[in-house]
Structure 1
Amino acid sequence: MKLPISLQQKLNQRTAENALRKLPVPINGIDFSSNDYLGFAKNEQIFEETHQYLIDNNIKINGATGSRLISGNHNLYAVSEYYIAAFHQAEAAIIFNSGYDANVGFFSSVPQRNDIIFYDELCHASIRDGIQMSHAKAYKFNHNDYEDLESKISKHFETKSENQSIYIVTESVFSMDGDSPNMETLVSISEKYQALLVVDEAHALGIFGDNGEGLVQSQQLQDKVFARIITFGKGLGCHGAAILGNTDIKDYLVNFARSFIYTTGLSPHSVATILVGYQNLNQATEIVKLKENINFFNQQKQLLGIKPFFVYSKSAIHSAIIPGNEKVKLIALKLQEKGYDVKAILSPTVPEGQERLRFCLHSYNTEQEMINVLTDLTKLVF
C-alpha cells in the first residue's frame, strides 16, 4: 500500500531541505560521536562481571516475562534500586526502561491540571513530549536565562493557589550544546518561589563528581532538588534510567506513570549490567582520564583559534556551530573520510542556523587523536 499523500509530502519536504534522516551505516573511525563517555559499553571486565553475577546468583532467565506490576519485578530490581539510591544519596530510586520512558512517565503524570511548569527551551524532546501529555500549563524560558525564568515565574506566583505546584525543569548537561546551568541559582529561585526543581542528569552521570555522581550531587545540592532523572545509556554504557526522589515519588510513579505500568520490565541481564556498571563507577580511573581529555580538548581549541566556533562546555559534549545543513554535512563527511567518526547535527533537530558538528569525548580518546581532529577541522572551517 502506498504512503498517504500527506505523509509523502512531509518526506519530500525533508528531502528538499537536505534534512531527511536515515539510519547511518556504522563508521569504523575514531570515536567522537558515541555517548559511551567512559568506554563502559565495550568494557570486557564489566561484561564478564555481569555474566558472573548472574551465574553466582543462579539467574538464568532471558526476559522479565511481564510488566513489573505483574510478573516482571525480579529480585535484581530491588537490589539495584537500593544501590542506586544509596550511590546518589537519594531516599529512593525507580528504574525505567529508558531515559525517554522515564521523562515521559514523570512529566505526563506528576504535574497536575492546575500546576505550572517552567522549562528551559533546550530541554530534551522526551521532556517536552512528557509535558505535552500532562494537563499542566507549561512555559519555556530562554536557555539558562535566569532573569527570564524569574520574570515569568513571578507573575504566576502572585496568583498561585494553595493546592497549585510550580515546577522548574532543566538539564545538568544539555545534549546538543554540552553546557550546564547554574544549579545554585536555580535552587535559589526554586526556594524563593516554593517551586519543585527537576533535573535531567542524562549526560552528567560518569562525568561530574569524584565517582561520576552527576552535577547536582557534585555540588551537594541533591537535598534541594525534587527529582533527578538519571540515564544509563550514556556514561554507564548500558540501557535504562532511574528517577531519584523520596519514597512518595516512587510510590506515585508506580501507580500513575503509564510508561512504567504498561510495559514489560528490563531483563535480569539488563538490570545486572546497570548494577555492575554502578559498582565500577567507584574510583573509576576512566572518570579521571575523561576529565583530563575534556580539559585538553578545550586547550587545543584555544591554541588553534577555533574556540569561537564552539559552544562553551566543560562536559564531554562539544559542539562547533556551522550553519547550514549542506555545509555541516559536507564538513562531517570530509572528517569521516579522514577516519574520524564525527556526526553532523542538522535542523530541525536543532534550530535552523544552529547546525553543528557534535564532538563527544571519551576516556579512551588519545591526545594525538584530539589534536588531529581539531587540526583537520581548522583547515576545513578557515
Structure 2
Amino acid sequence: MLKRWQKELGKRIENGTFRTLNPKAEGIDFYSNDYLGFARSKDLRELILMEISQHPECLSGSTGSRLISGNTAYLTETEKYIARQHGFSSALLFSSGYQANLALYSSLPGRHDIIIADEQIHRSVHDGSRLSFAKKIRFRHNDTGHLEQILEQKPGNCLIAVESLYSMEGDLAPLEQIAALAENYGAGLIVDEAHAFGVFGHGLVGQYGLQDKVAAVVITYGKALGMHGAAVLSTDLIRNYLINFASPLIYTTSSPDVQWVSIKAAYNFFSENRHIQQALKDNIRVFRQQGLVTPSAADSPVQAVIIPDIERLKSLQKHLADLGFLTYAVYSPSVKEGTERLRICLHSFNTEAEIIRLCEIIRESA
C-alpha cells in the first residue's frame, strides 16, 4: 500500500498537479469565496461580539451530538429563524456544506433508488451518493434534454442533484426547467445554493419561487456570508428523516453555539446592507466589460478563464501573484482534463482599477 500511495503522489508531482497546504497569502483577493466581504467586515464582527457578550455560554463546547446533549435552545431557534428567512417549513443546521450533502445523499435515497446528478456537481454529492448504495447517473452539464432522456427511462424513484451556481464553471443552472421536469416525472430535486446564496439574495430557488418544487435546498455560510456551516432547507418530514437516519448528523458532536451566533448575526447584517450586493454586481459588470473569453454567466461572481496548458496556467498564476493578484488555478481531477482554468472570484470590495489591471495582465500573458 505504501508503494501505491507513493506512486500516485509521484504521478501528481510529475504532471504538475501535486497539492500542498500553504499559508494564506497577502495580496489583492481574486480567489476567496468572500463575495460580499463579510469575512473582513469590522461592523459584522462587532455585531457578533455584541451577541456573544449577551450569550457567553455559547463559547463552550456543545458536549455531545444533537441527539444526546448538543441540541441547545439557541440552535433550535436559529433553525426556525433561517427557515422563515428562506420561506421553508424547516431548516436543519450542519457544521459544513460537505457534511450537509453527505447527510442528504447517504440517507434519502435507498439501495434501489437513482440519483441523477449534473456532471459538474460538487464532490460531496458523489461521496454521499456512494454511501447510499443508490445507483448514480450523470447528465451532461445543464443539459435538460439529456436529463429528460434519463428520466423517461428511469426504472425507479429518482433524486435530481444540481447546483444553482456552479463553483468551477461559474454558470447558472436552468432551475425552472429542471424543476418542471422533476415535477412532470415525479422525481425529487435537491439544489445546492452554496455559491448563489448572498450573491442572488437568499438564493435562486427563492428568487424563482420554487420552494414548493424542491425536496431540499442546501445553503452554506462559508461563501457570501463569511461564516462557516450549512443548512438543509426542506419539509418537516425530510428534517425528521435526516434526524433519524443521517449518520453525519447522528454520529458527530454538534458545533458550539458560537457558530450559530455568527450565522444569525450575518443574516441580520445581510438584510441591513443590501447595497453591498449591488457593489458586487457592479464589479462583475466591470470585469465582463474587459472582454475576456469565459464560459461563466454574465452575473456570476465566479469567472473562469480556460487555459488547458498546465505549464502556461501555472506560469500565469505565479506571474499574477508576483504582481500582488491572488487567483486560483484549477487542475484535473477537480475539472475535466483539458479544461484546466484560472478561477477568478470577484468581490464587493475589489476596486475597478484592480479588476481592469487584472484583466490586462491576463490578456498580455495570453
Which range is displaced more, 227-236 or 343-352? 343-352
Contact 2:218/2:230, CA 8 A, preserved across alignment: yes
Write the mapping of 1:250-269 to structure 2, written as runs, cut at 5 A.
Answer: 250-269=239-258
1:52 Cα offset (Å) = 1.3
Relative to structure 1, the CA distance from residue 368 to residue 42 in structure 2 (aligned partners, 3 Å threshold; closer, same or farther) is same
1:58 Cα offset (Å) = 4.6
Relative to structure 1, the CA distance from residue 111 to residue 60 in structure 2 (aligned partners, 3 Å threshold; closer, same or farther) is closer
Q: Aligned Cα RMSD in Å?
A: 1.3
Report what 1:199 is aligned to. 191
Report what 2:20 is aligned to. 22
Determine the C-alpha separation between the residues in 1 that align with 2:55 and 2:70. 17
Give the counterpart letter for 2:304 in structure 1.
Answer: S
Contact 1:81/1:93, CA 8 A, preserved across alignment: yes
1:26 Cα offset (Å) = 2.2
Matched, 1:242 2:252: no
1:310 Cα offset (Å) = 4.4
What stretches of structure 1 move > 6 A for 4+ residues in a row? none
Partner secondary structure for residue 159 of structure 2? strand
Which range is displaced more, 234-243 or 289-298? 289-298
Contact 1:178/1:314, CA 8 A, preserved across alignment: no
Report what 1:274 is aligned to. 263
Give the counterpart letter for 2:203 in structure 1.
Answer: G
Contact 2:170/2:295, CA 8 A, preserved across alignment: no
Report what 1:122 is aligned to. 120
Instruction: Return 5+ residue gaps in structure 2 as ranges.
Output: none
Write the mapping of 1:192-231 to structure 2, written as runs, cut at 5 A.
Answer: 192-208=184-200, 212-231=201-220
Determine the C-alpha separation between the residues in 2 that align with 1:266 and 1:77. 10
Matched, 1:343 2:328: yes
Determine the C-alpha separation between the residues in 2 that align with 1:344 and 1:330. 10
1:55 Cα offset (Å) = 1.7
Report what 1:334 is aligned to. 319
Deviations 1:154-207 (A, max 9, x none): 011xx44xxxx2111100011101101111110111111011111000001101
Matched, 1:182 2:182: no
Deviations 1:265-306 (A, max 9, x none): 111111100110111111422111111111221122x2xxx2
Contact 1:324/1:355, CA 8 A, preserved across alignment: yes
1:311 Cα offset (Å) = 3.4
Report what 1:94 is aligned to. 92
1:77 Cα offset (Å) = 0.7
Give the counterpart letter for 2:326 in structure 1.
Answer: D
Report what 1:298 is aligned to. 288
After TM superposition, the score normalised by the length of structure 2 is 0.97
Determine the C-alpha separation between the residues in 2 that align with 1:366 and 1:296. 10
Contact 2:172/2:297, CA 8 A, preserved across alignment: no
Determine the C-alpha separation between the residues in 2 that align with 1:130 and 1:178. 23
Give the counterpart letter for 1:187 in structure 2.
Answer: A
Report what 2:161 is aligned to. 169
Partner secondary structure for residue 318 of structure 1? strand
Contact 1:40/1:235, CA 8 A, preserved across alignment: yes
Report what 2:145 is aligned to. 147
After TM superposition, the score normalised by the length of structure 1 is 0.93
What is the aligned residue count?
A: 365
Partner secondary structure for residue 230 of structure 1? strand
Report what 1:324 is aligned to. 309
Q: Percent identity?
A: 41
Determine the C-alpha separation between the residues in 2 that align with 1:39 and 1:333. 24
1:324 Cα offset (Å) = 2.5
Matched, 1:372 2:357: yes
1:24 Cα offset (Å) = 2.3
Give the counterpart letter for 2:342 in structure 1.
Answer: L
Give the counterpart letter for 1:180 in structure 2.
Answer: L
Partner secondary structure for residue 168 of structure 1? strand
Determine the C-alpha separation between the residues in 1 that align with 2:222 and 2:145. 33
Which range is displaced more, 136-145 or 58-67? 58-67
Determine the C-alpha separation between the residues in 2 that align with 1:43 and 1:265. 27
Deviations 1:3-29 (A, max 9, x none): 811111111111111110011232211
Determine the C-alpha separation between the residues in 1 that align with 2:170 and 2:211. 21
Determine the C-alpha separation between the residues in 1 that align with 2:280 and 2:74. 30
Contact 1:324/1:352, CA 8 A, preserved across alignment: no
Determine the C-alpha separation between the residues in 1 that align with 2:158 and 2:114. 5
